[in-house]
Structures are given as C-alpha cells and as structure tokens.
C-alpha cells in the first residue's frame, strides 16, 4: 500500500484535493496530517493543484512503505516500496536507549 502524509495546512489543501479526485486514493486525517493511501501508486499533477514550486517541494511530511518515483515541476508520483511489509510498531517494550537503569 502507498501511504503519503502531508501537514494539514491551507497551502497543502489544493494538493490533497487533486489527489482525492482519483478513484484509487483515500484521504483521511491522522493528527495534524492528511494521510493519502492507495493500493496503487499515487500520482498528483502539480499544474492541476495550482501550487507554486515552493509549496510543491515542501508539501510531503512523510511516507510509509512508499518511495518517491517522481517529484518534479510536473508531477508527484509515490509508489509502494517493493518487498516492504507494513508492520505496526511494538510499543509494549521501551526502546533500549530509554530504559532507566538507575
């Protein structure tokens, strides 16, 4: 699955709106972020968003099991990372560096 996060700020709303028009993309919110997911690659046409380059190139907050295949003046294309299985983090045990030894 392809997963892309963008901060929920007015500047990113046009990008999310264009992505949401695709039948294969689902948009929801996680905390202060838009989460865009798809079983396929996510493709967003920059010109359709009306975004200027500064907003366009600062819009991605994070990826999960995904990689950027294209991010230029024309489009953003994010695809699932081959062979990467999504696994939820195990928070039942503290990280070793945070264990209080005293």
More confident residue, 66 or 97: 66
The sign of the torsion formed by the CA atoms of 72, 78, 83, 84 equals: positive
List pLDDT tens digits, range 1-12: 999 999 999 999
List pLDDT tens digits, range 4-46: 999 999 999 999 999 999 999 999 999 999 999 999 999 999 9
Q: Is 14 strand, coil or helix? A: helix
User: Which pLDDT band holds residue 98 (cuts at 50, 70, 90)?
Assistant: very low
E strands, the chain, are 2-7, 26-30, 33-38, 42-45, 60-64, 66-71, 75-80
Please check the confidence at residue 101 and state whether its pLDDT lies above 80.
Answer: no
Q: What is the mean pLDDT of the chain?
A: 87
């Amino acid at each position: 699955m392809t997963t892309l996060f963008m901060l929920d700020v007015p500047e990113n709303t046009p990008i999310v709106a264009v992505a949401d028009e695709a039948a294969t993309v689902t948009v929801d919110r996680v905390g202060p972020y838009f989460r865009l997911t798809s079983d396929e690659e996510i493709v967003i046409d920059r010109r359709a968003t009306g975004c200027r380059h500064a907003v366009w190139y600062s819009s991605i907050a994070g990826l999960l099991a995904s990689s950027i295949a294209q991010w230029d003046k024309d489009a953003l294309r994010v695809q699932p990372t081959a062979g990467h299985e999504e696994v939820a983090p195990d928070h039942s045990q503290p990280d070793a560096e945070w264990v209080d030894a005293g």
